[in-house]
Amino acid sequence: MQRAHALKVFRDLHRTCRIVFDGDVSTFKTAKDRIRAEFRANQMERDPQKIAELLKYAEDVEMLLRTTVIQVEYDENTSRCKLKLRKGLAYQSFDDSPPTPKSSV
């Protein structure tokens, strides 16, 4: 049961990294290598409680990546940044333009 759960979490992390770091090959490779290294470092763990803690941590990392990481692209022509928003992000609308004065009637 734990092996199947570990494989699912492993695949979910890789899938999320592929989506989150789409187009950023070096960051995707770094994340992929880190996932593999962390799972390999703990593959001989036999304590069910420790395994459950590690899998919970991995699930939390996957959720944070999926909901909080935003890619930004810099456009040199306009000297502006463009956010690459995707479904599932936990963000709020933000408007940093100055408030417009209200007219008094």
Give 47's DSSP letter: -
What is the C-alpha to C-alpha distance for residues 12 and 97, in angstroms, rounded to an integer?
38
Helix (H, G, I), strand (E, B) or coil at 80: strand
Across the chain, mean pLDDT equals 90
Asked if residue 93 has pLDDT above 70, the reply is no
User: pLDDT tier at 102 (50, 70, 90 boundaries)?
Assistant: confident
Please report whether residue 32 resides in a domain: yes
Please report whether residue 17 resides in a domain: yes
- Write out pLDDT tens, residues 41-85: 999 999 999 999 999 999 999 999 999 999 998 999 999 998 888
pTM of the model: 0.77
Q: Which residues contact 65 (CB under 8 A, 6 or more apart)?
A: 13, 16, 17, 20
Radius of gyration of the chain (CA): 20
User: pLDDT tier at 38 (50, 70, 90 boundaries)?
Assistant: very high
Domain of residue 33: give its range. Answer: 2-84
Q: Domain total for the chain?
A: 1
Please report whether residue 92 resides in a domain: no
Please report whether residue 75 resides in a domain: yes
